[in-house]
Structure 1
Amino acid sequence: MTLTMNYCYRLYPDAIQEQTMLHWLEISRKVYNYALREIKDWVNSRKCSLDYCSLEREYIIPADKPFPTYYNQQNALPQAKKEFPLLAEAPSQVLQTTIRRLHDAWNYFQHRGFGFPRFKKFGQMKSMLFPQFKTNPITGWQIALPKVGKMPINLHRPIPEGFVVKQVRVLRKADRWEVVLTIKSEVSIPIAQPHGEAIGIDLGLEKFLTTSDREFIARPRFLTSLYRELELLQRKYARTKKGSKNRQKVRKQVARFHNHIANVRKDWQFKLANHLCTKEGIGIVLVEDLNLKAMSRGMLRKHTQDAAFGQFLNLLEWVAKKHQVYFARVNPDRTSQTCPKCGTHTGKKELSERMHRCGECGYETDRDHAASEVIRLRGLEQLSTQGLWGIENAYAVGLPGTEETPSRSEAKPRKRKTRNAKL
């Protein structure tokens, strides 16, 4: 089994190295835009109808020329370097991975049917990838990259023994540089099995989450609480002159402010995930499988995106694996309309109604707490009836298809017809 992890570190290039990497990012942006221009020209040249030609466009590319695939554009890079010597200043593999990024976006557009790749403006290319290394690029407290040499790196956590650095991605965030190391190792990590007590988690905007053991976590408003300060910075940026140094200075201030909000949010979610997974006796964490894309397009989309439920669920899953806690997602349909005590459907509730009251059994509790209890019961039911989500094991109870029915016991075995019997 191959284990792959990403470790992020702070990078400290000097002035010359920083200018060199910024220059490479600009070259990568031009290669990206040129390759995208080839794709758009090929697509536009095939938009003419079969029975008549358009008065606005004509075949600018021969009809028998194939689509500019990734391999065609990658193989054209050596000839392009002869015509444009500027391309030879950047590492060849960085340019190849840039074209790969474009075609990944193109394939994603073909798969979902919308989101055509766009041209990148000046400064919009923020990262570059070094896909392979012959030797370990980490030497003590430095990292060695092709054509730029060694740079100081803050190894705040050491790379585990037995792991090898496979690729390195250099990121430009506001006025700082970061490096993401992809490390791999052939190790066997046991998969967390259900054990201990189970906890159900319900996510919401009034309260960030509510657990089935009556723990209520308030939702910090990371963006909305600092929106006034961000609004002033953006207004200051809008009033600066285009192309001026003051405009670039204010742009970095806005970018640093956005990074600060993102870092505070991620740090808080990491601490909350560790708090939930390190509770005494907790061995199963069950959450609802929300349609986050639909939630981010509703009336409360700003608050939903500020809460970052998708990022929190991914962090919670990672932290659960780290602590050997079983993590699973359950069906979120009608969790707030079902009574956790008797299973009665109580009907649709308005958002202003924050209490759950069952007319059958008389159970009353907080609405979010009742939903978290339903999530817990659904997760446990799926574990017991399906055997770890369809994986049959000795601990599963009531596996479908294992019981003996009267039709099976009374049925007579059929005789298999063979070719010799027909003869």
Structure 2
Amino acid sequence: MGLDVGVQSLVATSDKELIPAPKFFVNLQGKLRLLQKRASRKQQGSSNWKKAQHRVAKLHEHIANCRQDFFYKLAHRLCDRAGMIFVEDLNFIAWAKGLFSKYMLDAGFGEFFRILEWVCWKRDVLFLKVDASHTSQICPECGTHTGKKELSQRVHFCPECHHQGGRDVAAAQIIAQRGLAAVGHTVKMLGEGLSIGSPGRAYRQDAWRGVKRRLPYDPRIPRALSRGSVNLPRVAHSSSNPINRQQSSP
């Protein structure tokens, strides 16, 4: 299953499901502003000032707990539906400095990926990050590069094959295809008897980039494939995609 994250929908899956963002901070922003205003009117260091600061901290804690609870439940629901989950390798620090920084921080994409990776590890589900470049610009049906889209353009349309659908869903399908291509390459090398990710640190040469990359190995890959619980779109183009090894800890 491929997952694409965004502001309008927290998660779009390759199964064409859109999961809206709950916006816990935005919904309670008015109450938080009121408590902060009351705290600013108190004499600093006084007993009433400490009580007001405690109320502000408790509201922040409530927002964080609600967001975390939602992420854990969503992660378990996604793991119930797929044996492999693929996401983009994104720089969330750069996202948080953009025009929609408040909504990005409220969505908590980095925290969601961290929780999802941990839940996948506990549930014996493969979690893999793939190259995030041009996922919303490539057609999932024919692999045509359709060009850069404005943020307000929410519909994907391919001029070559005339495929039309949601932009976020199309990006999630591209992510799923790249993840399948990466997993298929790893399983192929396992079948050839190569020692992938062994203590000897096997490497492969990426001709398209001219650099050495360590071959990742995850024992959950063959188990997920043998279960037959993966239902992803076909690979339209199997280009070489970098595989970022995830360091999971219990």
Task: Verify same fold: TM over 0.5.
Answer: yes
Name the aligned partner's letter for residue 131 of structure 2.
N
Name the aligned partner's letter for residue 4 of structure 2.
D
Residue equivalent to 1:289: 89
Is 1:394 matched up with 2:191?
yes
Residue equivalent to 2:6: 204
Q: Unaligned stretches of 5+ in structure 2? A: 197-203, 206-250
Residue equivalent to 1:276: 78
Aligned equivalents of 1:285, 1:383: Cα separation in 2: 11
Deviation at 1:313, TM superposition (A): 0.3
Aligned equivalents of 1:364, 1:230: Cα separation in 2: 42
Residue equivalent to 2:111: 311
Does the C-alpha gap of structure 1 residues 377 and 396 become closer, same or farther in structure 2, counting only changes over 3 Å? farther
Percent of residue pairs identical = 43
From 155, 161, 170, give the equivalent of 1:370: 170
Is 1:234 matched up with 2:69?
no
Is 1:250 matched up with 2:52?
yes
Is 1:265 matched up with 2:94?
no
Segments ≥4 residues shifted beyond 2 Å? none
Aligned equivalents of 2:106, 2:189: Cα separation in 1: 40
From 107, 120, 144, give the equivalent of 1:344: 144
Name the aligned partner's letter for residue 99 of structure 2.
M
Deviation at 1:290, TM superposition (A): 0.8
From 151, 156, 160, give the equivalent of 1:360: 160
Q: Does the 8 Å contact 1:286/1:379 carry over to 2?
A: yes
Deviations 1:36-64 (A, max 9, x none): xxxxxxxxxxxxxxxxxxxxxxxxxxxxx
Residue equivalent to 1:58: none
Q: Does the 8 Å contact 1:383/1:396 carry over to 2?
A: no
Q: Unaligned stretches of 5+ in structure 1? A: 1-198, 402-423
Q: Does the 8 Å contact 1:285/1:326 carry over to 2?
A: yes
Aligned equivalents of 1:275, 1:375: Cα separation in 2: 19
TM-score, normalised by the number of residues in structure 1: 0.45
Aligned equivalents of 1:213, 1:242: Cα separation in 2: 54
Higher strand share: 1
Matches within 5 A, 1:96-135: none
| Residue-pair matches, total | 197
Aligned equivalents of 1:392, 1:359: Cα separation in 2: 36
Deviation at 1:380, TM superposition (A): 0.8
Aligned equivalents of 1:210, 1:243: Cα separation in 2: 47
Give the greater-gyration-radius structure (CA). 1
Is 1:220 matched up with 2:9?
no
Name the aligned partner's letter for residue 393 of structure 1.
L
